[in-house]
Amino acid sequence: MKKEQDAAYKDIVAAMQEVNSRRTFRNIGMPEREDLDRAVLLLEELSWKIMSADIATFAERMGAAAKDLKALAGKIVKSYKELRAVAAAIRKAATAAGRAADIAGKII
């Protein structure tokens, strides 16, 4: 599949080179020129399709390779939140104990 795509991309550029070599100042306005111009347009359209397909393949492969990273990132964030909650609980306990000591000090 990959080799076919490689060949197709190179073929497009080679075909464009071939068509463009026939499009010169001398045949501007001649009937065969319009067909050659049309061929250029079609080849360019095809080259965009190949480029888009390449990018889609790139995206697909990256997505497949990285999908487990999403789950891992989720687990890490969960652990982070749990640790924050533990830190907050210790902080609250220390603050509450400090306040209790303050109140006791005032009563004494």
What is the contact surface with other proteins in residues (CB under 8 A)? 2, 6, 9-10, 12-13, 16-17, 20-21, 23-25, 28, 34, 37-38, 40-41, 44-45, 47-49, 51-52, 54-59, 61-70, 72-77, 79-80, 83-84, 86-88, 90-92, 94-95, 97-99, 101-102, 104-105, 108
The distance from CA 64 to its chain's CA centroid, rounded to whole angstroms, is 12
Given a contact cutoff of 8 angstroms between Cβ atoms, the answer to whether 19 and 42 are in contact is no
Q: How far is the CB of 7 from other proteins (least distance, A)?
A: 10
Identity of residue 87: A
The distance from CA 56 to its chain's CA centroid, rounded to whole angstroms, is 10
Q: How far is the CB of 93 from other proteins (least distance, A)?
A: 8
Given a contact cutoff of 8 angstroms between Cβ atoms, the answer to whether 1 and 60 are in contact is no
**In the complex with other proteins, which residue's Cβ is closer, 32 or 74?**
74
**In the complex with other proteins, which residue's Cβ is closer, 32 or 99?**
99
Q: How far is the CB of 53 from other proteins (least distance, A)?
A: 9
**In the complex with other proteins, which residue's Cβ is closer, 6 or 32?**
6
